[in-house]
Structure 1
């Protein structure tokens, strides 16, 4: 049966429409989607207005670094830029905006450009005078020299130095604790670095030279490391003389006949570890490299450790409750070990003292701030959701003095409260791994943290067990003129021997 013409045309029309629709949909599916609109980059961090030409310099001189950074953080948030003359410095405050600072690759955010000022202090061939790959391997050498097996050996060496030093104190008296501890830490450091025979010959001169190195590391040094000021001239002369002394020591140790005549424990020191170290390509360390690494290790051990130990004392002696808790812990632990054993393992049991030291370092970190150079732009997201792009070429700062005192992480952040680190509170974990940064974090965490804690704990363990102590001078102010701000002026302490506390310790390694 034939269909009517209208039916045929209607069918063709429907077929055509369906085919056209299908073809259109097919073409639409085959064609690439229209290019998405490119998202504009986040804005740069807000900048402090400062004053013409000088920027924030007047406020810095009047308020000091901590107050200035804290004021800007309150007004501008966790990401902001300050200006001093032409220098623009972007601050990142808090764990949420600091991840890239501590975990970014060196090709993205680097220490090299902002740490050149340390070269006159540490010398050639080490630290920031070499490329990152070489420096990374040198850090590994220090890491090998501070592993637990080596720390056990160092602990026994430290005990001998600590006992010998405090045996010279009388039954009672008054001392400048800062000066005493600086002297003792130099003794301990040289003993662990160089061995007994060398330490006896070199101590007096080296202690003075290292103090001159420390004095040459001022805030102005970070921008003008070769500025012809007296402190820099003393630094350069001290570094040259230390180079001569340490070169002679390294050559003596490398001499086969001299090594045979050395004392049996000379091979347990850090010097031998550095001499025996090998780079990944198989080459050994050079004389210049070993000398530079020794200078940097002694510099860090002497100044930062003596400063931390002094701050610990000042805090304990002005907080009777925590002082009493630390003394009672010493009595329990030493009694449990027979009253005469202080070893590496015993030190690990001193949780109360450990928390007191950790809290001291939270309030008084070894350095004012850590610096990086942004080799690439990067984006940070603040806790309130706002994003900022830190431009390529910016100097970036992580201010430890404020980072460790954030109120949303630490309860009453300006209060000395070691119990905040007790297991039930664990405030340092509130913001994640980067909540506590006294020893840095991420890729550049300090390899000497365990050595530093062991040294501080051992010295204060001895003092708490053997002496009643009282701070007789005002609580020390912070010397903000230094890159590593320590207690300013004398820290006078009156002491009296405890007649009933154990006074002997074993120098045997655990």
Structure 2
């Protein structure tokens, strides 16, 4: 469906104000295809599982780089998210060992250590914005766990620069294109921040290249492949893009998980009961998360209702047709996990938080296809850290249930953002109590 001029203006304003609900409204009004804009600002939205399957099954028709052009100044030319073809596949293969079970367990331990330190600082009666708290906590643990103590010592300054750079990227694609096209303070702050990030990361790469032992973290794994495996630029892009992808989306997912669970007294009670019965005071490390199936359902349901990556963008590499609509080479194409995850034809009561929908023993259970439920993408482009992200959500929820009594103060929170769908205005809780962790047996 081609929108009228009035509808285009309304849609563009809606995308900038709150992209997730605006896309859902656009889908309800236009069906599986909606097109608006012209020239370099033309956007084609493809909605629903059939569109997702078309996109992921016809990779040669699309370029990832074009769809995420605005990420290139921060993530880098060779980052996994923005690269295509053999170069992407080679770099993904080199970093894949850093996301197997044993390293993931180590990263999760670092996160739980940061969480416990954060909880130790809380006091009864205190009001906490969990979204900003989780961002700082996840960023610190990501930098430390992935790239070691030297870079972790600079995580606060690094984080401030990342925030300036990411601010530009959380506008809608049309607004991003305008901000990138003309000089403005937002673009200037982002450019200066990226320059400082580059200096810090490249200095650490040089230091680690000259060290006798490259270490066992992600950077160490990449350096262990040998000097010819990855250039300094490839290493820089991998470091920065993994930090951004890890903390930007994970902190949003954690905030939405608390919002969803603490908004539902019955679900909160079931989760707390299972954690108390099966874990007691044991920390929720990777090896024991399998004992908490209800929190696994909570995690799946949170990622359905609030997928941090709520949309994905591509550039059409060639002309194609879908659902009776022609798309020209060079046009931007956007699909939406958020829209797909809330389609009534796929999901019963799609706006209801219902963890039990993921109970495979439930009568009438139907497992969604990978094109109906895709919080981390599909196939070869699936998020490389998806297993870690799921474990982080479940583990943080379990630790909060073990150690805290919280009252959710934020209500009717709106989603916003583009690179990651985060809660507008933050996620505020009141701390009613904090318990000291039991000694690890």
SS in 2 for 1:285: coil
Tell me the residue number matched to 1:490. 426
Q: Structure 2 unaligned segments of length 5 or more: list them.
A: none
Tell me the residue number matched to 2:407. 470
When residues 115 and 473 of structure 1 are mapped into structure 2, their CA distance, relative to the original with a 3 A threshold, is closer
When residues 473 and 406 of structure 1 are mapped into structure 2, their CA distance, relative to the original with a 3 A threshold, is closer
Tell me the residue number matched to 1:237. 192
Aligned equivalents of 1:456 and 1:168: distance in 2?
21
When residues 248 and 267 of structure 1 are mapped into structure 2, their CA distance, relative to the original with a 3 A threshold, is same
Kept in 2: contact 1:374–1:392 (CA 8 A): yes
User: 1:102, CA displacement in angstroms?
Assistant: 1.1
Tell me the residue number matched to 2:147. 194
Kept in 2: contact 1:173–1:495 (CA 8 A): yes
CA RMSD of aligned residues (A): 2.7
Tell me the residue number matched to 1:326. 271
Aligned equivalents of 1:427 and 1:144: distance in 2?
38
When residues 228 and 492 of structure 1 are mapped into structure 2, their CA distance, relative to the original with a 3 A threshold, is same
Kept in 2: contact 1:117–1:223 (CA 8 A): no
Tell me the residue number matched to 2:318. 376
Tell me the residue number matched to 2:438. 504
Aligned equivalents of 1:403 and 1:427: distance in 2?
21
Aligned equivalents of 2:193 and 2:225: distance in 1?
27
Tell me the residue number matched to 1:250. 205
User: 1:435, CA displacement in angstroms?
Assistant: 1.0
Kept in 2: contact 1:55–1:85 (CA 8 A): no
Aligned equivalents of 2:30 and 2:156: distance in 1?
50
Tell me the residue number matched to 1:298. 243
Tell me the residue number matched to 2:106. 153
When residues 148 and 124 of structure 1 are mapped into structure 2, their CA distance, relative to the original with a 3 A threshold, is same
SS in 2 for 1:435: coil
SS in 2 for 1:371: strand
When residues 483 and 293 of structure 1 are mapped into structure 2, their CA distance, relative to the original with a 3 A threshold, is same
When residues 55 and 329 of structure 1 are mapped into structure 2, their CA distance, relative to the original with a 3 A threshold, is same
Choose which of 45, 51, 63 in structure 2 pairs with 1:97: 51
Aligned equivalents of 2:129 and 2:273: distance in 1?
25
Tell me the residue number matched to 1:365. 307
Match runs of 1:214-363 below 5 Å: 214-217=166-169, 218-219=171-172, 220-222=175-177, 224-256=179-211, 259=213, 267-277=215-225, 283-335=228-280, 339-363=281-305
Kept in 1: contact 2:414–2:423 (CA 8 A): yes
Judge which range, 490-499 or 395-404, deviates more: 490-499
SS in 2 for 1:463: helix
Q: Which has the higher contact order (CA 8 A, sep 6+)?
A: 2
SS in 2 for 1:414: coil
1:52-95: CA deviations, max 9, x gaps?
A: xx6612244258544543344334432x2321244443332222
Q: In the alignment, does 2:373 pair up with 1:419?
A: no
1:450-505: CA deviations, max 9, x gaps?
A: 1111222222221111001101233422224x442311113221113355xx7236
Choose which of 52, 56, 61 in structure 1 pairs with 2:8: 56
Kept in 2: contact 1:342–1:505 (CA 8 A): no
Rg: which structure is higher? 1
TM-score normalised by the chain length of structure 2 = 0.89
When residues 268 and 350 of structure 1 are mapped into structure 2, their CA distance, relative to the original with a 3 A threshold, is farther
Aligned equivalents of 2:352 and 2:310: distance in 1?
19
Q: In the alignment, does 2:339 pair up with 1:402?
A: yes
Tell me the residue number matched to 1:204. 156
Tell me the residue number matched to 1:144. 97
Kept in 2: contact 1:50–1:56 (CA 8 A): yes
Aligned equivalents of 1:226 and 1:139: distance in 2?
31
SS in 2 for 1:496: strand
User: 1:331, CA displacement in angstroms?
Assistant: 0.7
Aligned equivalents of 2:345 and 2:163: distance in 1?
38
TM-score normalised by the chain length of structure 1 = 0.78
Q: Structure 1 unaligned segments of length 5 or more: list them.
A: 1-46, 260-265, 382-386
Runs of 4 or more above 6 Å deviation: none
Tell me the residue number matched to 1:73. 27
Aligned equivalents of 1:295 and 1:196: distance in 2?
16
Aligned equivalents of 1:468 and 1:122: distance in 2?
38
